[in-house]
Amino acid sequence: MPASTRLDVVDPKHVDVKAAVARLSREFLETSRGAHERGPYYAGLLSGEFEWESGEPNPKVRSAVHTGDDGEIDGVLVYEINRDDDTIEVEDLMAANPTAEVALWNYLGRHELCTKVTAHCVDPDGPLRWVLADPRRLKTTRVSDHAWLRVLDVAEALRIRGWEQRGSACLEVVDPLGLSAGTWTVTVGADGVEVAEGGDDPAMLDVATLGSLYFGDVRVRRLADVGLVTGSDEAVNRLDALFAVQRRPLNKAHW
pLDDT per residue rounded down to tens, the chain (255 residues): 555 579 999 999 999 999 999 999 999 999 999 999 999 999 999 999 999 889 999 999 999 999 999 999 999 999 999 988 899 999 999 999 999 999 999 999 999 888 899 998 898 889 999 999 999 999 999 888 888 899 999 999 999 999 999 999 999 999 999 999 999 999 999 999 999 999 999 999 999 999 999 999 999 999 999 999 999 999 999 999 999 999 999 999 876
Task: Specify the pLDDT at position 143.
Answer: 86
Task: Specify the pLDDT at position 112.
Answer: 87
- Count how many residues are written for the chain: 255
CA atoms of 214 and 200, how far apart (whole Å):
21
Task: Specify the pLDDT at position 140.
Answer: 92
Q: One-letter amino acid identity for 189? A: G
